[in-house]
Amino acid sequence: MSTILKLEHIQKYYGNEGNITKAIQDISFSVEAGEFLGIMGASGSGKTTLLNCISAIDTVSAGHIYLEGTDITEIKPKSLARFRRENLGFVFQDFNLLDTLTISENIALALAIHKTPAQDVEPRIWDMAQKLNICDILNKYPYQVSGGQKQRCACARALINNPRLLLADEPTGALDSHSSQMLLSTMQGIHEQMGATILMVTHDAFTASYANRILFLRDGEIFTELCKGHDSRSAFFNKILNVLTMIGGGQSHVC
């Protein structure tokens, strides 16, 4: 396997002298191509900051982040939007779909930004819709479909340009348990069939149990990591709960 993402001694401080918050203290890790990595940790442990640094939405205070060898921390601000567009896919808790466009048009937007030839647009949307099981809602508007269907549409939009890395920030945060389960099974299928590399931040142990490996953050550092290996998902889920208890406060305090 090849390394897609490599973080070397990342630090991120907010504020200035006398009033510094060390959001990330010193984090290093790598993500291999085709991995499904989860990031967990208590509120304030640095999950969002880490995701923002990886997606170059925020700058690091020290350290380097390499995406397939390109140092993200060195990319000039004017080139960042293009870098994100060409390499990253995003899925957010609140879907971020445009209400005035149909599901199909929402997905097409991502292709239009990539200047996809007109004749390729429909087949590619159809192909992705099949993978995400949303063919029957392509002509509906976001307000006409369920939260789970909206999130699968958001996944389709994020994946249609084959990003090097899919970043998911609490993708099941706004979903009920049934929709969460369907979305996660779909994400797992995509991960297995398309070989997509996924980095997912979540506070939820059930959601995290779909990942292959989980990094647990505490106070801006990696507290520990868990690999699924040959465990069943339910055995992995129990191990996750044990780590969350060890981190402190039990599951209810981890978000």
Ligand X SMILES: Nc1ncnc2c1ncn2[C@@H]1O[C@H](COP(=O)(O)OP(=O)(O)OP(=O)(O)O)[C@@H](O)[C@H]1O
| C-beta separation of 225 from 27 below 8 A | no
Q: With respect to ligand X, which residue has the nearer C-beta, 185 or 224? A: 224
At position 143, the amino acid (one-letter code) is Y
Q: Can you read off the two tokens belonging to residue 79? A: 């080139």
Q: Give the residue, chosen from 34, 44, 147, 173, that forms a contact with ligand X under the rule CB under 6 A.
A: 44
Say how far apart CA 49 and CA 26 lie, in whole Å.
13
Nearest distance in Å: CB 60, ligand X: 13
* Residue with tokens 């690091």, as numbered in its chain: 60
Q: Give the residue, chosen from 47, 131, 152, 228, that forms a contact with ligand X under the rule CB under 6 A.
A: 47
The neighbouring-strand residues paired with 162 are none
Does residue 49 touch ligand X according to CB under 6 A? yes
Angle between helices 147-159 and 103-113 (to 10 degrees): 20
Q: Give the residue, chosen from 4, 5, 7, 23, that forms a contact with ligand X under the rule CB under 6 A.
A: 23
Nearest distance in Å: CB 41, ligand X: 5
**172 contact partners, CB below 8 Å, separation of at least 6:** 151, 179, 180, 183, 184, 202, 204, 207
Residues 168-187 that bind ligand X (CB under 6 A): none
Q: How far apart are the first and last CA of the chain?
A: 32
Does residue 43 touch ligand X according to CB under 6 A? yes
Q: Looking at 38-46, 127-135, 187-195, 232-240, which segment touches ligand X (CB under 6 A)?
A: 38-46
Compute how many residues bind ligand X; rule: CB under 6 A. 13
Does residue 150 touch ligand X according to CB under 6 A? no
Does residue 21 touch ligand X according to CB under 6 A? yes
The binding site for ligand X (CB under 6 A) comprises: 14-15, 21, 23, 41, 43-49, 255
